[in-house]
Structure 1
C-alpha cells in the first residue's frame, strides 16, 4: 500500500513538515462480529475488519493486548488493535458478497502540535496503558459539517476526483480507500468514556490547530487508510447508485467509523515521539523500533469465535443489519435470527485423535522453490480431506501427514526444525479442503501437519 499523497499535501499545507511514521499492517488478524470497545463480552452488531495483535478478543484489557505473541502490524512494541467496518457488494438480486480487503492497513502516527495548545510546553504524550477510542458514528446516514464527520472520507484510486464524504458513485480501478482521522486531544483523566468519544476531542482544524481547554493534553494524531478491491465488481454495477454497503447496513458511507485499543509499550511509543524524526514517514528510520518479519505477520491470526458466514455470498448481512438509507440516523435492530452467542474457537484443524490416532501439530512452513517439508509419498485430488490424507500416509507407513493448497497430501517421517509450527502463531493454513469446506487443508506455502500418536494423543496448543 502506497503512502497517501493527500496526506503528504496536508502535512506541507500545515506550514511545517512535521515528523511522522507509517505503521503498515499486512492483513487482518481476524474478520468477525467483534468490538471489545462498544460491545465488551458480546457480539458486535456488525462485522469488523481487525488488524494488529493476536491478543484481540471480545473483552480485552491492556495486559491481554500486551500478551499477544504476534501482530499483523510491523513494530514489535505495538500490539494494539485497529478496526473498521467490512465492505460488501449488494447485487441486483439483493444478495451480498464480501469485498476483498487489499494490502492490510496503513496507520499514520502524525506528530502534530499547535503553539496555542493548553499544554503545548509539555509536548506530545504517548497513549497510556488501557487507553481506547472510537472515531465516527455508525448510525449516520447523512452529512453534517462537524469535525467528526469531516474526519471520514473516501478516495477512489485510479479514478480522478477529490476525496468524498460518502461512498463514491464511480468505479475505483485501483481500489476504494477508506480514511479515518482520530481525535488527538485528551481530557487527561479518562482512558475511555461511556460513548467512547467524550474523553477525546478534535483540534479546532480537525488534524491541525489547537486543542480545547477541556481536553488539554495532546496525543499523536492517528489516521487510518484501508483499501477494498471494488474493481472486482466493475462489471456488476446496475441502476444509478453505487452498489456497495458497509457491514452496518450503510449504503451511504457516512456511517464509517474506526476503533483503536492501545497495545503499545508506552515507553517505546514515547521514545518514538522524540527520536522518530523522519518527515517522510519511514518507519525503518525510527531507531527505537524493532520489527516482526513478514512471515510472522502473515501467519498471525486469531481463531474465529462466531458461528456465521462473513465471507463469500449470502442473503443478508451478518447480524441484524437491514439496509437503512437515511437521511435519518439508522435504528438498531434485533430479533432477526442472527446468532448472539460467542462460540468455541475455530482452530482450523480436524480432531482425529480418537478416530485415526493422529494429533494436529499446527501449520508448518513449506516455502516455494525449496526442498519439500515432507519428502515421502504424495497424492492429490479435488476431493481431498484430512481423513483421506492421513489414511493414505498411514497406509504407507509414514509418521507425518501434511495437507497443502486445498488438495495436496504429503507424507514423511521427519520435519526439519525450521519447518515446524511455531507456538503462538496460528499460521496461514486457511484453504478449505477440496472435499470438505469445513476442514482446512493447508495454504499457500503452508502445511497442515498431523503426526501419528505413540501413547498419549493430544492436539497442539496453538495459542
Structure 2
C-alpha cells in the first residue's frame, strides 16, 4: 500500500516541464558514506543512498559504470544520488529513524525521485550531458538560516496532509505543523564552467543561473555551459509521529547532520550515465512528451529488480531504529549561526568487504556449512522445496541443524522466521555474483542475523561432500 502511495505521489508531483524522471524505487542502504565530500573515510553524517551498486567510500566513473544493478529504474543510468537521513527527536532524547514512503516491515525500502528538467533558459541554450567523472553537491549541510538567494530557494519542504490547511504549502524550513508526509527537495545548479568535473568544495565548477529563476535562468559568463537541471524529491512518512510531539509543539524532526531547521538539507550526485545516450535524451526529448523516455531508453528495471539491489554495511555502527545520539557526533542545532563540525569524533570500525560481518550473513563454517549468497525465491515455486519449518525463534544455526538432520545439503532462510531445505538450486535462482540481493530481514530468533527478505532467501550449503557441491554463483 505504501509503495502504491509512493508512486501516486510521484505522479502527482511530476512537473509539466520535466523531460524524464529517474524513479529510484529503493535504495542501496542508509549509511555514513559520501565519496564526494568524504572520499575514503566514513562521512560526517548518515545519508539515504540510491543508484548503482558500484557505490563505495571512494569511486570513479568507471566503477559507477561497472555497477551490476541499481535501485533506480532506467537501466542505462548507473549514477548515485543521496541526501541526509531524517530522524524524529523523541521526548526522551532518543533519535528514531523516520521511514521513507515505501519502507515496510517486509524488507522493501522506499527511495527517491530524480527529475531531469529541460530548463534551457531564455536564450534556449543547448543542454549538455554530464561528462564522465562529473559530480556535484547542492545545498550546505551547515546552514541554519533562511536566505533568499538562488541556492536558498533551491531547498524546500512540503507538508502533505497537514493539520493546518491555512499554513503555507511549501516552506524553506522543515514544516512546523504535524504532517502525514514531509516531502524534502533540492534543485541542483545547472550552469557548468565547461572544464572541471569537480572542485574543492564540489560547487565552484557549477553555478545557479545569474538571473531569471534558480531552476531555469540565464547562465553567467563564468559558467556558460547549460546542464540539465536535477531535482531530488524524497517523501518521509511522518504520520506515525503525530501523537509524539512534546507539549511545546516544537518541530521535532532533525536531519542526520543535526539540522532541525531544514535549511541545511542537501544532495550529492555522482554521474554514471553513458554520455552519448544522455545527450541523445536531452537533445530529443521534448517537454510534455511522455513516450520519450520509452523510445530513448528502451527497457526499465522492475520494482522487484530495484528492491533486490542492496549493499552490505561498510562500517560497524547502527544508523536506523532507536538511537541514543545521531551517528557521527552531530549535535542538534537550530541556528541562526552555522553548525560547527565536532572535532576528534571517534571513527567506527570499517568492515572488510566480503566478510561475514560486512555481508550480513553468519559464519557457520564451524558447523561444516558455508554461505552461498542471497538467492531468489517464489512462494509459488520454492527454491528449496524438500523440507521446511518456521517459528518466531528462528536462527541461522537452527535452520542449518534442521536441514542437516534431514541429510539435506542446502538450507535457506526467508521472511525472518521461515526455513527451507533442498537438494539442489536451479540455475536461474542462484545468487548473482556482484549483487548482494534483498536479504535484509533480521532473524526472528536473533536480531544480529539476517534471514532472507521478500522474494529473497539467505542460502547456505553443506561442505565436505567430496567436491560434488560448489558455491552457486552466476557468471552474469
Q: Does TM-score exceed 0.5, indicating one fold? A: yes
What is residue 170 of structure 2 aligned with on the other side? 163
* Partner of residue 191, structure 1: 197
Q: Are 1:229 and 2:225 an aligned pair?
A: no
Kept in 2, the 8 Å contact 1:21–1:282? The answer is no
1:177 aligns with 2:183: yes
* Aligned counterpart, 1:393: 403
Residues 19 and 281 in structure 1, CA contact (< 8 A), matched pair in contact too: no
Partner of 1:314: 323
Equivalent residue for 1:414? Answer: 424
Equivalent pair of 2:260/2:333 in contact (CA under 8 Å): yes
- After superposition, the Cα gap between the structure-2 partners of 1:66 and 1:6, relative to the gap in structure 1 and judged at 3 Å, is closer
Gaps of 5+ in 1: 12-17
Give the alignment of 1:52-451 within 5 angstroms. 52-102=51-101, 103-116=110-123, 120=125, 123-159=126-162, 160=165, 161-173=168-180, 175-203=181-209, 204=211, 205-238=213-246, 239-277=248-286, 279=288, 284-336=293-345, 338-345=346-353, 346-353=358-365, 355-368=366-379, 370-451=380-461
Q: Over aligned residues, Cα RMSD in angstroms?
A: 2.0
Cα 1:282–1:207 shift into 2, 3 Å = farther
In structure 1, how many angstroms separate the alpha carbons of the residues matched to 2:284 and 2:456?
Answer: 38
Deviates more, 1:249-258 or 1:269-278: 269-278
In 2, the alpha carbon distance for the partners of 1:307 and 1:420 equals 28
The CA deviation at 1:312 is: 0.4
1:251-273 C-alpha deviation (Å, 9 max, x unpaired): 11110000000000111101111
Distance (Å, rounded) in 2 between the aligned partners of 1:208 and 1:301: 35
| Residues 380 and 255 of structure 1: CA distance in aligned 2, closer, same or farther (over 3 Å) | same
Q: Tell me by how many angstroms 1:295 deviates.
A: 2.5
Q: Distance in 2 between matches of 1:32 and 1:19?
A: 30
User: Which structure 1 residue ranges, 4+ long, deviate > 4 Å from structure 2?
Assistant: 4-7, 280-284, 455-463
Aligned 8 A contact 2:50 2:72 in 1: yes
SS in 2 for 1:101: coil
Q: How much has 1:110 moved relative to structure 2?
A: 0.7
Q: Contact 1:22–1:283 at 8 Å: present in 2 too?
A: no
Partners of 2:349 and 2:332 lie apart in 1 by: 23
> Per-residue CA shift, 1:126-167, capped at 9, x if unaligned?
000000000000001111111101100001112344211000
Structure 1 residue 284, shift from structure 2 partner: 4.6
Shift of 1:280: 5.4
Q: C-alpha separation between the residues in 1 aligned to 2:381 and 2:132?
A: 45
- What displacement does 1:418 show? 2.9
Q: Aligned residue pairs: how many?
A: 447
Shift of 1:427: 1.1
**Do the aligned partners of 1:296 and 1:425 also contact (CA within 8 Å) in 2?**
no
- Using the size of structure 1 for normalisation, the TM-score is 0.92
Q: Is the Cα contact below 8 Å between 1:271 and 1:288 reproduced in 2?
A: no
Structure 2 CA distance for aligned equivalents of residues 193 and 71 of structure 1: 26
TM-superposed CA distance for 1:296, in Å, is: 2.1
Contact 2:133 2:271 survives alignment (8 Å)? yes
Rate the CA distance shift 1:458–1:148 in 2: closer, same or farther, 3 A: farther
Equivalent position of 1:15 in the other structure: none
Cα shift readout 1:198-219 (whole Å, capped 9, x = no counterpart): 1101122101111011100001
Q: Tell me how far 1:292 sits from its aligned partner.
A: 2.2
- The TM-score with structure 2 as length reference comes to 0.90
Displacement, 1:180? 0.5
Q: Which residue of 2 aligns with 1:23?
A: 22
Contact 1:359–1:458 under 8 Å retained in 2: no
C-alpha displacement of 1:116: 3.3
TM superposition shift of 1:228:
0.9
Quote the Cα distance in structure 1 between the aligned partners of 2:66 and 2:277.
16
Partners of 2:262 and 2:251 in 1: CA distance: 11
Contact kept in structure 2, 1:278 and 1:286, CA below 8 Å: no
Kept in 1, the 8 Å contact 2:439–2:453? The answer is yes
